[in-house]
Structure 1
Amino acid sequence: MKDFVVILGSSSIPNSPPPPNLRHRHHSSPNKINSSFHKLSPSENQPQPISSSVPTSHSHQHPYPPLSSTVRWNPSSRRDFPLKYYADLASKLAEDGRLEDFAMTADMVVASGVNALRFASMLSVEIVSKGVALSVREGKVKNVVEVFKKVEKLGVAPLKLVNGIGLDSLKREFQRILGSGEVEEAVDLLEALRGFQFTIKELVNPSHIVKICVDKRNPNLAIRYACLLPHARIMFCSIICEFGKRRDLASALTAYELSKNMSGPNMYLYRAIIDTCGLCGDYMKSRNIYQEDLVNQRVSPNIYVFNSLMNVNAHDLGYTLDVYKDMQNLGIAADTACYNILLKACCLAHRVDLAQDIYNEVKHLESTGVLKLDAFTYCTIVKVFADARLWQKALKIKEDMISAGVTPNTVTWSSLINSCANAGLVVQAFQLFEEMILSRCEPNSQCCNVLLHACVEASQYDRAFRLFRSWMGGQEGNIDSTLKQVNNGTSVSTVSNHITNSHHHSFLKKFSFKPTTATYNILMKACCTDYYRAKAIMDEMKSLGLSPNHVSWTTLINICGGSGNVEGAVQILKTMHMTGIKPDVVAYTTAMKVCVEGKRLKLAFSLFEEMKRYRVQPNLVTYNTLLRARSKYGSLHEVQQCLAVYQEMRKAGYESNDIYLKELIEEWCEGVIKENNQKQEGLSACKRTDLERPHGLLLEKIAVHLQMSTTESPAIDIRRLTKVEARIVVLAVLRMIKENYIQGHSVKDDMLIILGVGERYEEAANVIISGVKDAVMKLLQDELGLEVLPVEPRVKKDRWVDLQAPIDANTVLLEAAENNSLSEKPLSSTRRPVILQRLKVTRKSLNRWLQRRADFIT
């Protein structure tokens, strides 16, 4: 046993009276009370009183008394008053906020041999808890945790020393810490309290601290906190989903990896991360997780994981069906949600036949009692038929739905109305809308927009405006009278009268209609070419607090251009920029179309350059709009401009219809020939080749040659071209030379024409080259009067000639200088000699021809 010293202040004297002899000594010897320390005398069985002027333990060091002076208590003895005395003393110390002194007192009592649980049972929990609350309010929560650690080492559970008052103070302190953004400090303290068996969810709201961790993008801290909760596996999924809602896939994946290592295979966890991948648009990551964490680890997913995986990849019908087969191979039976996802995938892939087969299968399963179809099943198959304009089949699904006891919802009615609207059946769409109202189904804005869109697509613009104003006007709500007014005597009114005169005669229905931006966009399209009416609709949209989107501005540009105001349309595009909405490719393409229709081609091409400066990628419509902008070419610059667009289009991966552009270039090239009969002959010959081969090679050849600068030596590569195509390329280069000559650039070198490369022992290649050569010679000599000389064929032995790559002028001249004579050395039998055949148009004849025909170019 050890002796101990208790160091106290005046306020630490317990309220219970001391023993009689101690009380007598207290009154008879007051000077002893003011002494600094008093040891417990081994000759006395009662503790001595403590001086009121004793300093605290942290300011005064004093060694323990010797072992022989220790007071020993017998637990079985009735003389328990000293233990009760020091229990009250420790409680009073805690109440005054002197928790360290409280812990030291408990340490000394337990060290003397007293049972810790017995000592703890004598402490006043109410008083100790008040002391804990006082320290927490003073911001000493860390000191409280340290005292709890000391007490726990003694065998006293800190949880038993704190009641409601202390817990409330801890709650408020954690709210303060989290409010200041110190979430890591809060988690550290919570981890410590969790070690003392405190219930964490009573101290702080779990969703609140998770939200802070997600806002700070700290998945590690969020997982640390989740591990403190008894339902940690569920909290892991919540954390991943919260990151997914903020489109933070990287943090979600980090939380997933940490959770996976802590919880092992968890189907909730797999489903949460797969759904998050879909929410963030990274479907490939969901496939990797399925393959690496499930298939490779031989973990069998449940039906819910399979459904999530198929739903995320529903846009890829092939992969979705593969996952469905994997599920069947594992013996997992498909549920209604699984079939709904398969129907969704068929809808996105426009596979009406497969959707019909799946629907028939689930109908059979429903008839046998295996499945019960829900509204989503019917809505999906209705949408499949609606998108395919199969409105009759869509209406048949509605009958199946009603017969099965499933009430059509707003989505179902909207899909049905849309199916008729897509087929141009406005009357049928109105009838379905009325049936929807009569069935007590509240239409939403999307359903009303579908009906308005049906009117616009059928060019019934006035009906669309009357219908919209009736919904916005707050009339008595009689849908029959509204439809009569809108239809103005059509067959729909007859249908309405028939229904009204039946048992629905007294039917009155009001429904709330809140127009959306899409509603006003549809009404703007109904303005046709009335720009001022469309502008008024946009202003009305803004007055209701709705913001015009890209469709709104694009529609206004199109309407303004349709009224003939090209400058106004371009100004609207600029205004769109100034309002903070970056024009997209549709807006730019619409503005360019307006410029093309208004014969403002320079303005159209300037918009094309502007959209590329703003990093807006042109699409197929953009390229076709510019390529079809001209009905004829008048200058070299115009041809070069369109050919540059054509090349950019091909590089972007778009396939174009080359016939239109090719015919324009043919006409421009044939302008070199003055005689009309020769021009017609060339055009007719070219048109015969349209069905024989694609025109991409020809247009690329022309584009390459017309991009040569005026300082380069004229050289024409007509390899792999037909006779007609070779003629067009040669004429294109000659027209370029002529236009450059008019601008002051004369010809300084002979013009070389590369006919092709043939092998000495292959006659077929030489026959083709010979035909092209004759056609070119006839064009240059007979039709244009140019002097053409054959260049002596040369044999290439050092390297093989690439038959596919074009040869530029510098390469041709370099090869001509290197190969003035044939090699006298015999060639290897493993290499066949290749012959490069060329023609040369003399510079002198070119200049004479330019001087003679310069006035022909317009």
Structure 2
Amino acid sequence: MRVLVVNATSSLLLLSPTSQSPPQLLSAITNAIKPKPPPTNPKIPITSPRPPPLLMNVALRSADRVRYCAEMASKLAMDKRFDDFVMILESNGYDLPALLGLLDAKMVSAGICGLICEGRIGDVVRVFRRVEGLGIGPFELCDESVKAGFGLELRRLAKEGELGEVVELMEVLAGFRMSVKEFVDPFKIIEMCVEKRDPDMAVRYAHILPRSYIWFSSIIREFGKKRDLVSALVVFEASKRESSGPNMYACRTIIDVCGLCGDISKARNIYEELLTQKITLNTYVFNSVMNVNANDLRYALHVYKNMQHLNVPADMVSYNILLKACCLGGRVDLAREIYEEVKQVASTGALRLDVIMYSTIIKVFADAKMWSVALQIKEDMLLAGVTPNVITWSSLISACANVGLVEKAVQVFEEMLLVGCQPNSQCCNTLLYACVEACQYDRAFRIFETWKGNVVAVEHSSGNDIANLQCSNSGSHFPHLAEVFAFSPTTATYNILMKACGTDYYRAKTLMDEMKMEGLSPDQMSWSILIDICGRSGNVGGALQALRNMHDAGAKPDVVAYSTAIKACVDNKNLKLAFSLFEEMKRYPVKPNLVTYNTLLRARNKYGSLHEVQQCLAIYQDMRKAGYSPNDYFLKKLIEEWCEGVIQDNNQSQGIISQCCSRKKIDTEKPQTLLLEKVAVHLHKDNKRNLVIDVRGLTKVEARIVVLAVLRMIKEKYITGDPIKDDMSIILGARKEIGGVADNEFEVKNAIVKLLQDVVGLAVVSTGPETPFILNDNRWHRRNSVLKQNECRCNSDDSSARRPTVLQRLKVTRVSLDRWLRKRIGATLC
């Protein structure tokens, strides 16, 4: 009985609507529930204290007490006084199930939603954790309005970009065994993680979602679309730690992402690592690896052989990827073998050839210009009961167009319409392109006008009744078409027609205006074609104006547009403007390509000034730095002619040049890189103070060109008022300690001495080494110590690597150079 009184007291203590201390709470409850006391006789002494009214509650029935507690707890929850609410729950341990059944879920949910609306999420979480500590699921006390409230709050946070708070709250709710997937679209959260480049947060979010192994793949793919391979790899590594076994979804996706980001080697490393770990890959992973390596046919076939070795069955996608690799690699023979293999497998019923397979193999032969084989495969396709689609017909039209068979291409186009296949813009553009490539320009325009007006002829199957539709043109160029098709020209359509304009600038400009009226925007190719038309018609000003209009229209000029404009200037002998455009395109910047460099290097057939030579040599060096291999012979010949001009008059025959060029034709297969680099270095450096010419490694003809180039540079600078202030020194090569001067070095020395003394008339002095060098690890190191020179000379038995390399030099005195320059300039003036 004593224990019961204590429990009853504790229960009533918790029912206070205030936060009073227990003695005050007891007094308040007692005053509230005690009846009016009967009048007492003051004359009668009270010998014992009257029991407090609280003890009267013991006589109440247990069910009434629980109901009363439930009502009070519901009211407290609705008033958002959840500390008192939880205290009531904690004080009714044995009667807790009955109490929970009597709670008003709407009142409790109203209080929780009120806290959520006030942003007091922390208070809600704290209450939930205390309730969960009693073994009660927090959401067992609430209705659906609480979930709706959390959903609104999460969507608000997501809209404001509070990614960390969203994921943290979802983690908490998921810990309370609540499904959070429906609160916010998962792809919205993944998109936020991708935009913020936060793979760790994306991994945290994936952990709380059901079937997380699929969501890991989705996250990897989304990072890949943003070309963020680093973040995708972080998520992939997390997916491996998450799952007990290999996640084939993630493996396939990360390989696809590597290919999308252009890191083929990383895709191969992942694939080979999986094989090393003895993980059995499925068909889809193998397909992804082959598809990523489609540009490397050898490796794609290697993967396919591994696939066969591991007994992994190939599907139609596998064979389609192999055919794609053969198409990219130009291996028609191998594509035919794969096609025969697929047909054999299909004959057993293991596979069924689909339209994609046929379309791919047709494209292989179309690109290889094997149009007859492509048409034969179309017949096989029909016999197999596979209906060609628009991609198939487009490839067939391309097969005929690639070899210039315009009539055959038109026939295939008509056949496509007869079977009821609606052509797309690619089919129409391919047919127009075939006409333009065959120089049938008028026919291309007539076909275009026919399509644009939806003009065709309708022929019944009997072939007798033909009804011609009303048209803007006089007749149709397709007399066997089955129905009218909707034709919507594209920008590529107008680009093809602009090529058909030849040199008619105004017709091309009209097409561009019509393109704009159709709601299409001219692209970079449109402007490049217009620039080319101006160039071929001799209108350099129009070409430059088109380039400027391209800027104004918002289409950034690319390398094709600039190269076309440069070609227009070169073709019309405006080289100064061509080089100016070249400098402009590098400022924007637009990276020149091989066509740009070759156009500029072949712009001149003769050099007249030092500036022109320096300009072309700078382009030549820039071209080599960009990784292109120029044709050195053409440029070398021009440089040689310019160099020889320093000692020959314009009316003299070029006997020396012809003699040098005829000597084994200067061996056009031999690269002239060293010679041109030597010339470029000497012509671009400042030689005011120290004229040093290094001809080591050159033949006597090449050394002659370098020396003459420097002499011509000196002459042109002297004319502009730059006098000679020092002697000119020529480094010939190394004298060997045994055997004297090498044969080639001897020939170079004699050729240069003969040139300078006999032809030019300069005073040449042969000098010894001014500075000794020794060769060590293929590098020349200056040694200033005379003591070490003598030591090296004395120790003749030492290895040749320690012997000093003696450089042979020729010196041309400043006085003789000055005399020669005065004489040459005076003769020129006369």
Q: Which bracket does the TM-score occupy, shorter chain normalised? A: 0.7 to 0.9
Return the offset for 1:436: 1.3
Q: CA 1:178/1:30 → structure 2, altered by over 3 Å: closer, same or farther?
A: farther
Higher deviation after alignment, 474-483 or 429-438? 474-483
Match of residue 225 from structure 2: 245
Please say if residues 131 and 137 of structure 2, whose CA atoms lie closer than 8 Å, have aligned partners that are also in contact.
Answer: yes
Aligned to 1:103: 86
Show the counterpart of 1:45: 58
Distance in 1 (alpha carbons) for counterparts of 2:595 and 2:468: 41
On the 8 A contact 1:417/1:432 being kept in 2, the answer is yes
Conservation of the 8 A alpha-carbon contact between 1:757 and 1:834: yes
1:768 aligned partner = 744
CA spacing shift, 1:801–1:851, aligned 2, 3 Å: farther
Mapping of residues 465-504 of structure 1, within 5 Å: 465-475=445-455, 478=458, 500=480
Partner of 2:68: 85
Matches within 5 A, 1:408-447: 408-447=388-427
Q: CA deviation at 1:483?
A: 13
Once the two structures are TM-superposed, the CA of residue 532 in structure 1 deviates from its matched residue by 2.2
Cα displacement (A) at 1:44: 4.4
Query: What amino acid does structure 2 have at the position aligned with 1:572?
Result: A
Matched, 1:275 2:256: yes
2:701 matched residue in structure 1: 724
Change in Cα spacing, 1:156 to 1:824, as seen in structure 2 (3 Å) is closer
Residue 149 of structure 1: CA displacement?
2.4
- 1:687 alignment counterpart: 662
Q: Superposition pairs for residues 580-599 of structure 1, below 5 Å?
A: 580-599=554-573
> Alpha-carbon deviation of 1:628?
0.7
Shift of 1:668: 1.9
Q: Do 1:786 and 1:845's aligned partners in 2 also have CA atoms closer than 8 Å?
A: yes
Match of 2:774 among 792, 799, 803: 799
Asked if residue 288 in structure 1 is aligned to residue 269 in structure 2, the reply is yes
2:772/2:806 contact within 8 Å kept: no
Provide Cα deviations, 1:255-285, integer angstroms capped at 9, x if missing partner: 3233322224211111122222223333333
Aligned counterpart, 1:53: none
Change (3 A) 1:149 1:837: closer
Matched residues in 1 for 2:646 and 2:666: separation? 26
**Would you say 1:321 and 2:298 are equivalent positions?**
no
1:616-695 to structure 2, matched below 5 A, reads 616-674=590-648, 679-690=654-665, 692=667, 693-695=670-672
Given that 1:97 and 1:131 are in contact with CA atoms closer than 8 Å, whether structure 2 keeps it comes out as yes
Aligned: 1:388 with 2:368: yes
Q: CA deviation at 1:762?
A: 3.1
- Residue in structure 1 matching 2:681, options 678, 700, 704: 704
Is the Cα–Cα contact under 8 Å of residues 792 and 804 in structure 2 kept in the other structure? no
**Is 2:820 the partner of 1:849?**
yes
Bigger relative CO (Cα 8 Å, ≥ 6 apart): 1
* AA in 1 matched with 2:55: P
TM-aligned CA distance change 1:201 to 1:662, over 3 Å: closer
Shift of 1:387: 1.7
Partners of 1:796 and 1:834 within 8 A in 2: no
Deviations 1:491-512 (A, max 9, x none): x96xx65xx4xxxxxx642322
CA contact (8 A) 1:240 1:273 kept: yes
The CA distance in 2 between the partners of 1:363 and 1:449, in whole Å, is 32
Q: Tell me the secondary structure at the aligned position of residue 471 of structure 1.
A: helix
Give distance in 2, aligned partners of 1:142 and 1:325: 59
The residue type paired with residue 221 of structure 1 is: M
Change (3 A) 1:726 1:646: same
1:378 aligns to 2:352 (yes or no): no
Match of 2:719 in 1: 742
Counterpart for residue 312 of structure 2? 332
Question: In 2, Cα distance between the equivalents of 1:532 and 1:166?
Answer: 70
Aligned to 2:577: 603
Change in Cα spacing, 1:638 to 1:802, as seen in structure 2 (3 Å) is: farther
Q: Secondary structure at the match of 1:341?
A: helix
The equivalent residue for 2:334 is: 354
What residue identity is the alignment partner of 1:42? L
Partner SS, residue 753 of structure 1: strand
Letter paired with 2:291: N
The residue aligned with 2:14 is: 6
Q: 3-state DSSP class of the match of 2:732?
A: strand
Deviation at 1:601, TM superposition (A): 0.9
Change (3 A) 1:773 1:153: closer
TM-score under structure 1 length normalisation: 0.82
**Deviation at residue 486 of structure 1 after TM alignment:** 13
Q: Distance in 2 between matches of 1:755 and 1:784?
A: 19
Distance 2:632 2:132 in 1: 86
CA distance in 2, matches of 1:650, 1:449: 38
Cα offset, 1:531, TM superposition: 1.9
Q: How does 1:60-75 map to 2 (within 5 A)?
A: none
Given candidates 383, 403, 408, the residue that maps to 1:403 is 383
The 8 Å contact of residues 769 and 809 in structure 2, kept in 1 or not, is answered as: no
Residue deviations 1:703-732, cap 9 Å, x none? 233234351444433333333333333332
Q: Structure 1's 123 and 421: CA in aligned 2 closer, same or farther, altered over 3 A?
A: same
1:649-694 Cα offsets, whole Å, 9 max, x none, are 2222221212221222222223234477763243233233335333
Q: Matched residues in 1 for 2:438 and 2:470: separation?
A: 18
The answer as to 2:247 corresponding to 1:266 is yes
Could you tell me how far apart the structure 2 residues matched to 1:414 and 1:550 are? 25
Determine the C-alpha separation between the residues in 2 that align with 1:855 and 1:578.
53
The Cα RMSD (Å) is 3.8
Quote how far apart the aligned CAs of 1:823 are: 9.7
Deviation at 1:420, TM superposition (A): 1.5
Q: Confirm or deny: 8 A CA contact 1:669 1:735 kept in the other structure.
A: yes
- Offset at residue 135 of structure 1 (A): 4.8
AA at the equivalent of 2:755:
L
Greater displacement, 264-273 / 252-261:
252-261
1:565 is matched by which residue type in structure 2? N
- The letter of the residue matching 1:303 is T
Distance 2:653 2:745 in 1: 23
Q: Is the 8 A contact 2:772 2:789 kept in 1?
A: no
Matches of 1:592 and 1:618, distance apart in 2: 11
Q: Is the 1:716–1:753 contact (alpha carbons within 8 Å) kept by the matching residues of 2?
A: yes
Equivalent residue letter for 2:72: L
1:549 to 512, 516, 523: 523
- Determine the structure 2 residue equivalent to 1:66: none
Q: Give the Å deviation of 1:469.
A: 2.3
Alignment of 1:770-789 (within 5 A): 770-789=746-765
- Give 1:179's aligned residue: 159
Cα separation, 1, equivalents of 2:186 and 2:38: 58
Give structure 2 stretches of 5+ with no counterpart. Answer: 19-29, 40-50, 460-465
Q: Is the 8 A contact 2:449 2:473 kept in 1?
A: no
2:135 is paired with a residue of what secondary structure? Answer: coil
Structure 2 counterpart of 1:568, one-letter code: G
- For each residue in 1:325-383, what CA deviation from the matched residue of structure 2 results, as whole angstroms up to 9, or x when unmatched? 33233222222211211111222222222222222222222223232222222222222
Deviation at 1:560, TM superposition (A): 1.9
* Preserved CA contact (<8 Å) 1:682 1:724: no
Question: Contact 2:365–2:399 at 8 Å: present in 1 too?
Answer: yes
| Amino-acid identity (%) | 53
Please report how far the alpha carbon of residue 238 of structure 1 lies from its aligned counterpart in structure 2 after TM superposition.
Answer: 1.9
| AA aligned opposite 1:6 | L
Length-normalised TM-score, structure 2: 0.85
Structure 1 pair 45–744 and aligned structure 2 pair: CA distance change class (3 A): closer
Deviation, structure 1 residue 596: 0.9
